């Protein structure tokens, strides 16, 4: 009998993971409490776009993957539910995870393993998951085990990275770690490192804090260089000639579900110790406001009188994806509410539904209405349309457009 894997949460992480496992011949059921999502998947419709996902979906369907709203009586559970942070305490909000674990425990059989894939702050499993599992084991003699297998994949390259990234698996014993390793090894060609649960929890948030700090360094240089009258992009190019220096590219802020969220867990749990991590978060969160300042400066310089003649290109948090979570453009629009002027126009080729005020769905309509174009996201589309925006004043926060009237951060 093949083991049944029940993937809980069919979002950006759970869905590709479930499809990947099924495509490799594992027996998989994907479960989500969002009825519409489940219905779409049951009826042949993917719920988001991603390179290679359609092919994976077809293969998984051929191999018998099923989708349900009900938790299954399975051997392995993989929980990929949201783990946001509390904006005040900065700590992880474990409510989705707790609910998922409670539902799993109602269904699961003896000796099953619950793998938490969600990103969690160090100690989350000991504080929230283990007490529930221990109680169930004691009351119903079930011997359920826990593992943590944090996910590193990035939107835009999810399928490729699922196969090629290295992974970390945390478990309470080498036997359980090995049982889970075998499942991931069915598709993962990277190294799979086995460790304890807390180290696995810590590794994921530390990796994202590292990325955040490095981005913050580039963003801090933008502000220093502006003050000093130095071109930050040229400066970074020169500095990166040093054999041991690799400064990242600055930008309008950090969005997405990982880098802009996970470092906060360490700030919330280790106040007074996570100092660089905290400073980096503040610098990156200040960038949308900095872009607003640059917009005002350029409007004055180029005699653009109304913010209604300004257009933000891009709503997503990175190029060529449809994920808008925590995006710098949304942060900027939120900040704008505190300023008197409104009416700024917005367009993103990847966002088809109406999400914000004054949003356009046609590039030409959008361009017609504006004099100052602010490139917030470097989608391929805007690079390809460089000819069509030649007559505009451009604030290019991503350094992807060239031209005489192009200004940078």
Task: Report the interface residues with ligand NAD, using CB under 6 A.
Answer: 8-14, 31-34, 37, 80-83, 96, 99-100, 118-119, 151, 153, 155, 257-258
Shortest distance, position 6 Cβ to ligand NAD, whole Å: 10
Shortest distance, position 16 Cβ to ligand NAD, whole Å: 9
CA distance 196 to 180: 13
Which run of H or of E encompasses 14?
helix 14-23
Q: Name the residue with the smallest CB distance to ligand NAD.
A: 11
Residue identified by tokens 């950006």 is 12
Which of the following is catalytic: 188, 225, 258, 318?
258
Q: Give the tokens for residue 52.
A: 């290679």
CA distance 328 to 312: 11
Give every CB contact of residue 118 below 8 A, 6+ residues apart in sequence. 9, 13, 79, 80, 81, 82, 83, 96, 97, 150
CB 360 within 8 A of CB 299: no
Shortest distance, position 344 Cβ to ligand NAD, whole Å: 27
> What backbone phi and psi angles, to 5 degrees, belong to 6?
-110, 110
CA distance 171 to 176: 6
Nearer to ligand NAD, 241 or 352 (CB): 352
Nearer to ligand NAD, 212 or 396 (CB): 212
Sheet holding 372-375, edge to edge: 359-360, 345-347, 310-313, 372-375, 393-396, 406-408
Nearer to ligand NAD, 257 or 408 (CB): 257
Nearer to ligand NAD, 100 or 283 (CB): 100
Beta-bridge partners for 311 = 345, 373
CB 266 within 8 A of CB 280: no
Shortest distance, position 216 Cβ to ligand NAD, whole Å: 20
CA distance 179 to 334: 46
Give every CB contact of residue 158 below 8 A, 6+ residues apart in sequence. 12, 16, 50, 51, 52, 53
Shortest distance, position 37 Cβ to ligand NAD, whole Å: 5
Query: By three-state DSSP, how is residue 408 classified?
Result: strand
Nearer to ligand NAD, 23 or 208 (CB): 208
Shortest distance, position 29 Cβ to ligand NAD, whole Å: 12
Query: By three-state DSSP, how is residue 360 classified?
Result: strand
Nearer to ligand NAD, 133 or 409 (CB): 133
Shortest distance, position 205 Cβ to ligand NAD, whole Å: 10
Which of the following is catalytic: 37, 204, 318, 345?
204
DSSP notation for 108-147: --TT-EEEE-S---TTHIIIIIHHHHHHHHHHH----EEE
Residue identified by tokens 């990035």 is 154
110 as an active site residue: the answer is: no
Query: By three-state DSSP, how is residue 107 classified?
Result: helix
188 as an active site residue: the answer is: no
Nearer to ligand NAD, 68 or 335 (CB): 68
Catalytic positions are 204, 258
């Amino acid at each position: 009998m093949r083991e049944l894997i029940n993937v809980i949460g069919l979002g950006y992480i759970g869905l590709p993971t479930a499809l990947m496992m099924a495509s490799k011949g594992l027996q998989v059921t994907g479960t989500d409490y969002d009825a519409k999502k489940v219905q779409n998947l049951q009826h042949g419709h993917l719920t988001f776009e991603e390179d290679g996902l359609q092919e994976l979906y077809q293969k998984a369907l051929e191999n018998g993957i099923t989708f349900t709203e009900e938790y299954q009586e399975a051997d392995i559970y993989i929980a990929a539910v949201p783990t946001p942070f509390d904006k005040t305490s900065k700590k992880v909000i474990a409510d989705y995870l707790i609910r998922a674990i409670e539902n799993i425990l109602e269904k699961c059989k003896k000796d099953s393993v619950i793998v938490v894939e969600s990103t969690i702050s160090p100690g989350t499993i000991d504080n929230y998951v283990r007490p529930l599992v221990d109680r169930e084991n004691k009351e119903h003699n079930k011997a359920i085990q826990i593992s943590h297998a944090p996910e590193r994949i990035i939107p835009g390259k999810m399928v490729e990275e699922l196969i090629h990234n290295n992974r970390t698996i945390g478990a309470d014993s080498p036997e359980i770690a090995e049982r889970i390793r075998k499942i991931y090894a069915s598709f993962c060609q990277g190294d799979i490192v086995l460790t304890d649960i807390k180290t696995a929890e810590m590794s994921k948030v530390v990796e994202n804090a590292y990325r955040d700090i490095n981005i913050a360094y580039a963003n801090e240089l933008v502000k220093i260089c502006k003050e000093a009258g130095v071109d930050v992009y040229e400066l970074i190019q020169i500095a990166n000639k040093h054999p041991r220096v690799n400064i990242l590219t600055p930008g309008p802020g950090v969005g997405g579900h990982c880098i802009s969220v996970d470092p906060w867990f360490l700030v919330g749990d280790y106040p007074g110790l996570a100092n660089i991590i905290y400073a980096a978060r503040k610098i990156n969160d200040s960038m949308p406001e900095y872009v607003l300042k640059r917009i005002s400066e350029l409007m004055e310089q180029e005699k653009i009188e109304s913010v209604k003649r300004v257009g933000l290109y891009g709503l997503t948090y990175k190029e060529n994806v449809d994920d808008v979570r925590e995006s710098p453009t949304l942060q900027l629009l939120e900040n704008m509410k505190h300023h008197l002027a409104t009416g700024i126009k917005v367009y993103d080729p990847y966002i088809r539904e109406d999400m914000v005020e004054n949003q356009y769905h046609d590039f030409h309509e959008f361009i017609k209405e504006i004099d100052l174009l602010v490139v917030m996201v470097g989608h391929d589309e805007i690079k390809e349309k460089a000819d069509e925006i030649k007559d505009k004043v451009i604030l290019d926060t991503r350094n992807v457009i060239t031209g005489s009237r192009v200004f940078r951060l």
